Amino acid sequence: MSGWEIFQVWLVAFLTLALFSFMYKDNPIYRIAEHIFAGLTAGYQVGLIWDTIILQQVWVPMTSGQWWVVIPGILGMLMFTRFSSKYSWVSRSSLAFVMGATAGIFLISELHGRVLPQIQDTMVSLSGEGGFGATMLSIIIVIGVISTLIYFYFSKEHKGALGVTARVGIWFIMISFGAHFGYTVMGRVSLLIGRMQFLIEDWIGSFI
């Protein structure tokens, strides 16, 4: 490796170990690395917004003759009045537009991306066409969906058969939470493995 590449590897290794030092206790080296990471992230986001939004979605269309783009551009500029205690009320129109548009887009995307596909996947066949295993899985899905929905039915007290079904729904909810938590842990473990591979193969391997 060249001298510049070796410097990069050592710098990344130092920052990685500095962040890992928080596992021992909070220390100045960790705080330095944390501030560097936060500053780089903020700078990257500013550059990304400048390039992908201000230039590509506002300036370039305006220079191409699409002058109507100046309207969302003005609404975006009004957001900066939030920094003024006297004129912060001006940004309410922009915030209301953004919140309304985002809510409408999010509602449609959630409906088509989550709600309808989940409803469709719940409508499974119990005829046993896929064998005993597929039939048992379909029955578990139906029981889980019904019991979970009943758990969130608060118009009647959970007693008797309704209470038993609601408690079954709690078990399915806990299993779902456990699966999501396990998925999150595995994602963090994969990041840890990637950092350890870098330290062992790239950093330590550079001077062995």
How many Cα atoms sit within 13 Å of 181 on the Cβ side?
Answer: 6
Q: What digits encode the pLDDT tens for the residues 140-170?
A: 888 998 999 999 988 888 889 999 999 999 9
Helices (H) and strands (E) in the chain, counts: 8, 0
Angle between helices 3-20 and 28-49 (to 10 degrees): 110
Q: What digits encode the pLDDT tens for the residues 45-70?
A: 999 999 998 899 989 998 888 888 88
Q: How many CB atoms lie within 10 A of CB 137?
A: 13
Determine the distance from the C-alpha atom of residue 35 to the mean position of all C-alpha atoms in its chain, rounded to a whole number: 22
Residue 28 confidence class, pLDDT cut points 50, 70, 90 = very high
Where are the chain's structural domains? 1-65, 126-208
Statement: the pTM of the whole predicted model exceeds 0.95: no
